Amino acid sequence: MTEPVAHSAISEYRFMVENHLKIIYPELDHAAFAQDLIDIMCPDGQCQTPETHQNHWDQRNVVMITYGDSLLAENETPLQTLLHFSEKYLSNTINGIHILPFFPYSSDDGFSVIDYYQVNPTLGDWEDINAIAEKFQLMSDLVINHCSSQSEWFQQFKRGEFPGRDFFFCASPDDDLADVVRPRTNELLQRIDTPEGPRYVWCTFSHDQIDLNFAEPLLLKEVVKIVKLYLDHGVQIFRLDAIAFIWKVAGTTCLSLPETHEIVRLLRTLIQFVSPKALILTETNIPNRENLAYFGNSNEAHAIYNFSLPPLLVNAMLCGSCQHLKTWMMSMPPALHGTTYLNFIASHDGIGLRPAEGLMDDEEINQMVTMMEQFGGRISMRSLPGGGMRPYEINISLFDAMKGTIDGEDEWQIPRFLCAHAIMIALEGIPALYIHSFLGTHNDQEGVECTGHNRSINRHRWDYEQLQAVLADENFSHAHVFQGLCHLLQVRRRQPAFHPNATQFTLHLGDAVFAFWRQSMDRQQSIFALNNVSNTEQILPLSEINLIGTDSWIDLISGEIYSDLRAELVLKPYQVVWLTNMFERE
């Protein structure tokens, strides 16, 4: 139960909110509007003082990404099935669940929201959401760059009615839009006839997803009401979807503008005084340097996606070389206390290629694209400023992306797939695994044919009874993948050296072995993560790893003990070894 906040804390809360508003809306009555927002977030006049630079996570944090209807069973809602599966199979493996948009929608599998205040009845209801939030740390999408053309707000816009008439961003075809950066190929502006005449609404993603107008303060107030609703239903992590696009100014890229960053800071301030352990995660699928900017001065996102990891890791597995992966990791700044990375290599979307720009050259990206097409993948394109198109993302099941190397398919698919995940699981940050990675799901080509959308290839819906059967049968790859990933995660969760903010250093053991050292924050545990990313055996002298001679060393994965530090370590193709000087502890 929250304690009444001291007058000084309320004053600090109001002062911070006003300062954010002064930057976003210079002409506004900041004091009055700040009080309106605080009244929405704290209707009872009570809140808590947040602690700064606190890590509200540790090595036990693991997130599963899933749609609300990835699992289907008779006589229960999909959200109930999701909870039953998670409790039965993953209670000792994950502690967080990211349920992708679970609201009524009109397209894009949930990301074109019709009603932010309701749960999609085909998935369940708020009671189902509450039940999941009681058992797991719940992550929800805050889809506020755009909403559905079928939403009541947009219907009001078309009728010229308040408040929706001012909630959508409009531009003119004559505006200077040459530099606008966006991830799609459809026309940016869509003509809509209104009582005031034709208006041209902005559509970053599709003509069913109309961009919202954050230059209108009343829209911000509505968004804050939505945030409070989600908090009341147990949401602890807010994933700010497509947040980089929310502020537009003609003549610019309309990407990650200063007002965008200030809105993220404002949302963090509003949330943290009500729920100090709630987290903000920014979804910014953009080049690495721009992505890192969303940490701000440790006052913006608590966590950002490591978007460069998926394409670089897939490339390493294809080529049998970790050269680019090492170069990237050495350039990444350690996250300051109170911030962390969210590591993933598969999601509901695809393998984004923009985050590889500047890290891989065009020839290497094109080679990866070609191989993924050979493994059954599809390629989504984006328009370039000034005309032309280039690959934006690879749409493929990650399990099928690991079918082979640049030389073609081979017999190492499962070891390669597990090796890729072992790297992601051991890196600095919080690991997030897509449900279809847990299940080793193949490309859903039938889904693509049914929907006409490339991303459907990795959005399969499992019959829950059938799934349970294949997970119990060692003859299926699904069982081997699931058991292997759960073992890795259960090992990870007991190691203080795998704390998301524990020390990390890159090791140089050749291009075929991606290796790094993690050390717990109390310096008692070291883990040397050694990963053979090639399909050939690699031999490493233990003397090259700088193991402390006075300690005993054990591989956390296999249990093998290494007592002779002058010996050689033989890594089979795609084998992973986690060498530690401290045995697992509860």
Q: What is the pLDDT of residues 549-562, one digit of tens each?
A: 667 799 999 999 98
Angle between helix axes 323-331 and 309-319 (nearest 10 degrees) is: 150
What pLDDT does 7 receive? 62
Q: What is the pLDDT of residues 434-492, one digit of tens each?
A: 999 999 999 999 999 999 999 999 999 999 999 999 999 999 999 999 999 999 999 99
In this structure, are residues 312 and 306 in contact, taking their beta carbons and an 8 Å threshold? no
**Dihedrals φ, ψ of 39, to 5°?**
-65, -35
What pLDDT does 464 receive? 98
Pick the residue with more confidence: 194 or 586?
194
Catalytic residue among 108, 208, 211, 241: 241
**In the predicted model, is pLDDT for residue 80 greater than 70?**
yes
Q: Residue 94 — pLDDT band, cuts 50, 70, 90?
A: very high
The stretch 267-282 carries a mean pLDDT of: 96
List of residues 6+ apart from 166 with CB closer than 8 A: 213, 216, 218, 219
For the chain, give the percent of residues with pLDDT over 70. 98
**In the predicted model, is pLDDT for residue 45 greater than 90?**
no
What pLDDT does 583 receive? 63
Distance CA 85, CA 91 (A): 9
Question: Mean of the per-residue pLDDT values for the chain?
Answer: 94
Range from 349-353, 475-479, 505-509 carrying the lowest mean pLDDT: 349-353
Distance CA 430, CA 417 (A): 19
Tokens 């008439």 found at: 165
What pLDDT does 564 receive? 83
What pLDDT does 4 receive? 45
**In the predicted model, is pLDDT for residue 500 greater than 80?**
yes
Long-range contact pairs involving 10-16 (C-beta distance under 8 Å, separation at least 24): 10/47, 12/49, 13/38, 13/47, 13/269, 13/273, 14/38, 16/269
**In the predicted model, is pLDDT for residue 2 greater than 50?**
no
Q: What is the pLDDT of residues 180-210, one digit of tens each?
A: 998 888 899 999 999 999 999 999 999 999 9
What pLDDT does 285 receive? 81
**In the predicted model, is pLDDT for residue 279 greater than 70?**
yes
List of residues 6+ apart from 570 with CB closer than 8 A: 537, 538, 539, 540
Pick the residue with more confidence: 563 or 401?
401
Best CA proximity match to 438, nearest among 17, 8, 63: 63
The stretch 71-84 carries a mean pLDDT of: 98
The stretch 70-90 carries a mean pLDDT of: 98
**In the predicted model, is pLDDT for residue 84 greater than 70?**
yes
What is residue 352's three-state secondary structure? Answer: strand
Residue 241 annotated as catalytic = yes
What pLDDT does 565 receive? 81
